[in-house]
Structure 1
Amino acid sequence: MNGAKGPTSGATPATSGVALADADVRATSAAWERFAAGAESVDGVRPEILMSWYRCREEYEVDPHLDRAPPAAEVGAHSIDHDVVYAELGGMAASAAREVDGLDGIVTVADGDGRILGTWGSRRILHQAADSNLAPWSTWSEWASGTNGMGTALESHRPVLVRGPEHWCQGFHEWVCAGVAVRDVVTHEPLAVLDVSCWNSPLSADVLPWLGKVAAATEAKLRQRAHHSGTLLAAALGDLRVAPETPLAAVDLAGSVVLANSEAAVLMGTPADQPAYAPAHRFTPQLSALPILVRRAVERARKDPDWTGSTQVHVPFLDITVPVVVRPVFTGTQLIGMLLAFGSAGSSGCEQPAGYLVPAATTGPLPSRVVALRDDRWVLLDPREIRFAEADHNTVWLATDQGRLVAATRGLDRLEQQLEDKGFLRVHRRFLVNLSRVREVEQGFKGALFLATDARSRETVPVSRRHASQLRQTFGL
C-alpha cells in the first residue's frame, strides 16, 4: 500500500525505546506487582501503560494472572468497509511476516472488537503463541485480555508499544508487541487492528513507523470513499421533493453535517449551502441530541432499509423544539448517511408548512429527567426511578423500576454530572448508585463492600477500594 515496506529485522538497543533494559524490566515488574496488589499509583511506568492498567483493574476487572486470552464471541454483521480493511491488512501482514520471522515474531490482524482473524509467522512461534490463545478465534481487547498491543491500540489513536511486564496479564510478560488500529474516518470507531509480536526478543525500531504508515495508507483509501459518499449525500438532498423553504440537511453516520440549506443552517448553527464532502471538513451541528438521534436511526435503518422515522429536537440557542423527519440514504446496500427535514410531523415527507415550530414552554426538555431508550421509544425517567447505572464502555445501562434501559447519555462521567445533585454517588469506575435506593451494605472478602439496592432479588453493586471510605462516611459506617 503506497509503497509501505515491512519492518526490518534485527534487534535494537534499549535507547531506541523499543526494548526494555534489564533494570527497566525489573522496575516495571515491581511496579506491576504493586499495582496489581492494589496500589493507587506507581512510578516509572509510561502514562499510556498506566492508564491502560487502570482501565484493566478498575473498569474491566481483568484477572492480572490470566495466561490465556478468552475465546471470541459472535457479533453482528459488519460493513464492506470492514472486509476491505481486513483484506488490505491481511496482505500487508502476510508480506511482513517473512521479514519478522528471524526475530521470533508474528503479525496478526484482529477486528474492531479485538477478535483475531489471522496470524502469520514461523510455525514455531505460531505454536508458542497458541499456548496463550494468540491465535484466531480468540479475543485480545483490553476488557478481555488486559494491556496488550492489539487491545490497547483499539483504545488509542496512534500506534502503541507494550513490552514485557507492561502487559497487564502476567502470563503475557514474555511478549513484546506493537499495534495500530485502523479507524472509520467518519465515526472514528475502530475497524481493525494490525499487530506485530515477538517472543523473548525486542522489536525492530522500524515496526512502529511501519504500523503508522500502513494505518495511514488504509485510512487514506477510506477517506476517498467517504468523500464520494459525501457527494452522494449532497446529491440525495438536492433530489428530495419537499415544500419550498423546508429546512433540509444531509448528515453522515456520525451526525456531522455534509450540507444544509439556509433554513436548516439557522437551526443547526452551521454554514448554509456549503457542501463539505470530505469527512475532515464536515460541520458539527450545535444540537447535542443530534448524534444520539442519528445513532439510533443508523441502527434502525441497517435492520430495515425501508425505515423512515420522525421525532423532535430541541434547539437550545433558539429555545424552541422542532419536529424532524429522518430518512436513510443508501448506495447499493451500504448506508452512508441521513437526510433531515425539519418542521414536519409526518414520517413520509414534509407535509407540514416550513417553519412549523413548537414553543419550548410546552414541549421543551423536562427538568430533572433522565432520558433512556427502549426499542424505538424515548423513556423519560424521574431520577428516583433509577437504582443504579452501569457502564459498558461508553454505553450506560440503567437499572430502573421500568426494567433495564440504556441511557441516552453516553459515558458514565456525563451521567454523573447530570445527576450530581440528585443523591447519586460514584462507587466504582463502572457503577453510579442512587443512595436513596440502597437497602443493605454487605461486607465481602478482605473488606470488600457490596450495595444491595433490591433486597428481594439480591441485586448488588460492588464498591471499589478507592470509593469505600467515601461511602462509609456517607452512611456513617
Structure 2
Amino acid sequence: MPDRDGSSAFARTRDAWERFAAGDEVPADVPLSIALSWLRCRDRHRLDPLAPVQAPVRDDVVYRRDHASVFTMLGAVAAGIPGRHDGCVAAVTDGDGRVLASWAARGSGECAPAPGSVWAEARAGTNGAGTALAHPRAVCVRGPEHWSSALHDHSCVSTAVCDPVLGTAVAALTVSTRGHCLPVRPDDLLLATGPALRVLCDAAARSSAVLAGAFVDLDRREPRPLLALDGGGRVVAANSAARRRGLLPRSDGGRALGRAVAPALVRACGGDTWSGTVVVGAAGDTGGAGGTGAGTDDVLPVPAPTLAGDAPDRVAAVGRGGRLHLLARDDVRHARADGHDVWLVTDVGVLRAAHRGIDRLARELEPAGFLRLHRGHLVNAARIRSVHRGPDGMTVATDRAGAERIPVSRRAVPAVRAALGL
C-alpha cells in the first residue's frame, strides 16, 4: 500500500520497517546507515518501535569553553533556517543528543523540541540528530526510516561536528519537517558547520602546543621515562628513557593505554586545576600513591585495557547489490584498507566493511585478538596458519595453502611473535 504521498519508495521502506520490527534478521530496501541504526535500536538498545518517543529533559551538564563556542555558532546558523524555509524546525544538540536550543518557522504550527530533551539514538531510536551522533556523519532520515512509528510523518537531515582529537561528536545541527521533502541538503549543513569545526581544530592546535612545551620542559628537568598522551589517549611524544624501557606502545598507538587511563584523562581535561595519580589494574584496586587536585588527594583506580568480551560479537559488511551481512567476528580472517574503504576477507568471500576507515575497525576488534600488522592490514591472530620470513621481512597467511602474503611491519613483529608464541 503506498503512503499518503503516493511514493512507492516510502511504501517499500514502511514494509521493510514492519518486517524488521516483526523479527526479520537483516533490514532490506533501506540505506545502509538506516539499516545499521535499526539494528542498534532493536538488538542493542531494545527500543519498542510502537512506543511513544522518550526524550527526557536534563539540564545538569557543564560544557567546555570551546564547545560552548561551537554551540553558539551553530545556534546562529539554526536560528536563520526557519525564516528561509517554511514549515521546518531547526535545532542544535550537544554530543549526547541533548537539545540546547530550537527554532520553528513562525506561524507554521510546528512544535520545536524542548530545550534539554534528549534525542540520543539509544533513547529516541533512529532520528536525525541521534543517528548523526551515533556514528558521526551527515544523515537523512525520512518518514518510516525513523525507528519510532510516532515519527513516521516527519523527515529530518542532520550533521555532527566532531572533536578532531577525540573523534567523538560534540554537537549536531538538525533540520526537520513534516512530510518527506526536506528544505536543505546534507551538503548545505556540512558547509554551514565548517566554521564551528575550525574552532575545534584551532583549540586542538593550541592544546597541542601547550602539551609539547610541557613535555619538553619536564623532560629537561626530570630525566625519567616520560610519555605524553593527547585527550584521546594516543601517545604523541615519548622521551628516550621511555623508549629504552620499552614503554612506547608498538602496535596500537597507545589506544589500550589511553583506555586504561581514561578516567584520569576525563578528569584532567575537565579543568585546569586537577592533577593526580592513576593506578592501572583491576577495578577497585586502590593501591598506589595519591595525587592532588583542588585541595584533595585523588587516586583513580582504573581497569586494565579492554578485554575481548567488550569487542562486538558481529561485524557488519556489505555484499553485492548492497546486501548487508552480519558476520561473526571469528569468520573474519583479515582486513585490508583501500583508501577509506575496508575489505574483509571472510569465510563467505571478500566483502566491504559497512563502516569506513580501518582505524575504527581496529579499535573495535583489537580487544578480540585482532592484530594491526601494518598501517593498512588487520588480521585475526587466531586464523593465522603460517608465518614466512624473507628478504622483505615477515608475512603471514590465513589460508591453509599459505598463498597469502600479508605484510607485517617491523614495529608489529614483536606483537605477532607474542600472539603466536614464537
TM-score (norm 1): 0.56
The whole-number CA distance in structure 2 between the counterparts of 1:284 and 1:93 is 43
1:112 to 95, 113, 120: 95
Give the structure 2 partner of residue 158 of structure 1: 137
CA shift for structure 1 position 110: 0.8
The whole-number CA distance in structure 2 between the counterparts of 1:145 and 1:73 is 14
1:190 to 153, 160, 169: 169
- On the 8 A contact 2:141/2:157 being kept in 1, the answer is yes
Give the structure 2 partner of residue 422 of structure 1: none
- On the 8 A contact 2:260/2:280 being kept in 1, the answer is no
CA shift for structure 1 position 284: 8.5
Give the structure 2 partner of residue 11 of structure 1: none
> What 5-or-longer segments of structure 1 have no aligned partner?
1-19, 271-282, 314-323, 334-347, 349-374, 392-409, 419-477
Distance 1:249 1:378, change over 3 A: closer
CA shift for structure 1 position 263: 3.0
Which SS does the other structure have where 2:206 is aligned?
A: helix
The whole-number CA distance in structure 2 between the counterparts of 1:224 and 1:416 is 36
Matched, 1:98 2:76: no
Distance 1:237 1:416, change over 3 A: closer
Structure possessing the higher radius of gyration over alpha carbons: 1
Distance 1:152 1:241, change over 3 A: closer
CA shift for structure 1 position 236: 1.1
Matched, 1:78 2:46: no
Letter in 2 for 1:299: V
1:41 to 4, 26, 37: 26
Distance 1:66 1:137, change over 3 A: farther
Give the structure 1 partner of residue 300 of structure 2: 376
Matched, 1:129 2:53: no
- On the 8 A contact 1:70/1:145 being kept in 2, the answer is yes
Letter in 2 for 1:237: F
Give the structure 2 partner of residue 290 of structure 1: 257
Letter in 2 for 1:183: C
CA shift for structure 1 position 245: 4.0
CA shift for structure 1 position 413: 7.2
CA shift for structure 1 position 156: 2.4
- On the 8 A contact 1:249/1:257 being kept in 2, the answer is yes
CA shift for structure 1 position 168: 0.5
The whole-number CA distance in structure 1 between the counterparts of 2:7 and 2:150 is 19
> What 5-or-longer segments of structure 2 have no aligned partner?
282-287, 313-361, 371-422
Task: Write out per-residue CA displacement over residues 56-100 of structure 1, whole angstroms, 9 at most, x where no aligned residue.
Answer: 011111121134442223554221122111101000111222112
Task: Write out per-residue CA displacement over residues 133-180 of structure 1, whole angstroms, 9 at most, x where no aligned residue.
Answer: x33232111111110100000022321000010000001011110001
Task: Write out per-residue CA displacement over residues 326-383 of structure 1, whole angstroms, 9 at most, x where no aligned residue.
Answer: 999x9xx9xxxxxxxxxxxxxx9xxxxxxxxxxxxxxxxxxxxxxxxxx822568xx9
For residues 41-440 of structure 1, what are the structure 2 equivalents within 5 Å?
41-100=26-85, 102=86, 104-125=87-108, 127-129=109-111, 134-204=113-183, 206-240=184-218, 245-265=223-243, 267=246, 269=248, 286-301=253-268, 302=270, 305-311=273-279, 376-378=300-302
- On the 8 A contact 2:311/2:368 being kept in 1, the answer is no
Moved segments of 4+, more than 6 Å: 324-328, 388-391, 410-418
Which SS does the other structure have where 1:160 is aligned?
A: strand
- On the 8 A contact 1:233/1:258 being kept in 2, the answer is no
- On the 8 A contact 2:96/2:120 being kept in 1, the answer is yes
The whole-number CA distance in structure 1 between the counterparts of 2:37 and 2:366 is 21
The whole-number CA distance in structure 1 between the counterparts of 2:252 and 2:223 is 20
Which SS does the other structure have where 1:129 is aligned?
A: coil
Letter in 2 for 1:171: A
Which SS does the other structure have where 1:177 is aligned?
A: strand
Give the structure 1 partner of residue 8 of structure 2: 23
Distance 1:42 1:241, change over 3 A: closer
- On the 8 A contact 2:95/2:171 being kept in 1, the answer is yes
Give the structure 2 partner of residue 449 of structure 1: none
Percent identity, aligned pairs only, is 32
How many residue pairs match? The answer is 304
Distance 1:98 1:23, change over 3 A: same
Task: Write out per-residue CA displacement over residues 254-307 of structure 1, whole angstroms, 9 at most, x where no aligned residue.
Answer: 12233332333453548xxxxxxxxxxxx9964453112341212343489342
The whole-number CA distance in structure 2 between the counterparts of 1:223 and 1:303 is 19
Letter in 2 for 1:298: L
Give the structure 2 partner of residue 429 of structure 1: none
The whole-number CA distance in structure 2 between the counterparts of 1:289 and 1:201 is 44
Q: Which moved more, 1:303-312 or 1:166-175?
A: 303-312
Distance 1:417 1:66, change over 3 A: farther
Q: Which moved more, 1:23-32 or 1:40-49?
A: 40-49
The whole-number CA distance in structure 2 between the counterparts of 1:55 and 1:191 is 21
The whole-number CA distance in structure 2 between the counterparts of 1:208 and 1:146 is 20
The whole-number CA distance in structure 2 between the counterparts of 1:137 and 1:118 is 8
Which SS does the other structure have where 2:171 is aligned?
A: strand
